[in-house]
A and B are shown apart, each in its own frame.
Chain A
Amino acid sequence: MDLATRPTPDGSAVELRIAGEFDLAQLPAFKSASSAVLRDGFSRVIVDLTDVSFLDSSGVGALLGLRRRCRDAGGDLVVQPSTVVRRVLEACEVEGHFGLTVGQTPSPQGVEA
């Protein structure tokens, strides 16, 4: 899994981009990056999963955990899913609770609580 973070141009949110497979083996790296984002003061997070080729419930649980932490800090989390990711989120019946975006990077307003 490749993982990178960068602030949005206006600095009001951070984009967390993941590529490759997202399962149990990648949780430590994801949790470390998530903690760093929150520690840096960001509570509005855009998780770009458009290049994720595999996701299971380990990854879904990690996304739910990050969403909870963002909301606790006054922000929220938006997910940009690949087809595979969307299928798993739908199968877990949580897609309706994530702000899912398609095709373009959401504006920071898109991650307001």
Chain B
Amino acid sequence: MSDDGARDEVILRVPAKADYVALVRVVLAAAAAIDPDSRDDRVDDLRVAVSEAVTNAVESHKAAGTDSHIEIRCLTHGHEVEVTVRDHGPGFDPDNVPTVPDPEDPQRMFFESGLGLPLMRKLVDKTDIQNCDDGTLVRLVIDTSLSPR
């Protein structure tokens, strides 16, 4: 990782297929771990959050019936890692997803989908979701030198 204030950038463009989600995880985790001060548990949390974002993109493309690729961009700067995942699916309204019941609510166990967005928000420091003209842009930011949230 550069220590001169510059940002290092990794760009991936992968088919919208489930088998490629693991590839993205491996590459981004390796990029994040280049920082010698990065914590393994924080890199693990980033792996999960990235997996959620790319999985949503794969499923979005499947729903839209498009064979477009998914673009993933990773910027590292100091201890901070910023990942963006851009898909070309039908779009997504983060304010219009079903509310996950409280942990103590027995109904929580019947909430078998829709866990990805809350999980991303729980694991990384910042999660932004933007609807674009032809898809969705998810942005994840994490400081990998800090203790897990």
Are A56 and B103 in contact (CB-based, < 8 A)?
A: no
Interface size class of A (residues with CB under 8 A): 20 to 34
Q: Are B21 and A23 neighbours in the complex by a CB distance under 8 Å?
A: yes
Q: Report chain A residues within 8 Å CB of B108.
A: 93-94, 97
Nearest chain A CB to B146's CB is how many angstroms away?
A: 16
Q: Which residues of A are found within 8 Å of B44, using beta-carbon distances?
A: 84, 87
Q: Which residues of A contact B55 (CB under 8 A)?
A: 23-24, 56-58
Interface residue? A44 (CB, 8 A): no
Nearest A residue to B149 via CB reads: A91
A28 CB to closest chain B CB, in angstroms? 9
Q: Return chain B residues, CB-CB under 8 Å to A58.
A: 55
B115 touches A25 (CB 8 A): no
What is the CA–CA distance of A94 and B115 in the complex, to the nearest angstrom? Answer: 10
Contact A68 B109 (CB under 8 A): yes
Neighbouring B residues of A23 by C-beta, 8 Å: 18, 21-22, 51, 55
Chain B residues lying within 8 Å of A64, measured Cβ to Cβ, are 109-112
Which residue of chain A has the shortest Cβ distance to B104 in the bound complex? A96
Flag if A24 contacts B109 (CB, 8 Å).
no
**At the interface, yes or no: A60 with Cβ under 8 Å from chain B?**
yes
Question: Within 8 Å CB of B52, what residues of A?
Answer: 56-57
**Chain B interface secondary structure, helix, strand, loop or mixed?**
helix
A65 on the B face (CB < 8 A): yes
* Total residues of chain B contacting the partner, CB 8 A: 32
Point out the residue from A24, A60, A65, A91 that lies within 8 Å of B122, measured CB to CB.
A91
**Is A54's CB under 8 angstroms from B115's CB?**
no
Contact B51 A25 (CB under 8 A): no
- On chain B, the residues within 8 Å of A68 by CB distance are 109-110, 112
Which of A25, A57, A64 has the most chain B CB atoms inside 10 A of its CB? A57
| Chain B 82-107 interface mask (CB, 8 Å, partner A; 1/0) | 00000000000000000010011010
Closest chain-B Cβ to A1's Cβ sits at a distance in Å of: 10
* Bound form: Cα–Cα A62–B108 in Å: 14
Q: Are A56 and B109 in contact (CB under 8 A)?
A: no
CB distance from B28 to the nearest CB of A (A): 13
Given contacts A57-B55, A87-B148, 5 further A-B contacts (CB under 8 A): A24-B18, A54-B22, A54-B51, A67-B109, A93-B103
**B interface residue numbers (CB < 8 A to A):** 18-19, 21-22, 25, 41, 44-45, 47-48, 51-52, 55, 58-59, 100, 103-104, 106, 108-113, 115-116, 118-119, 122-123, 148
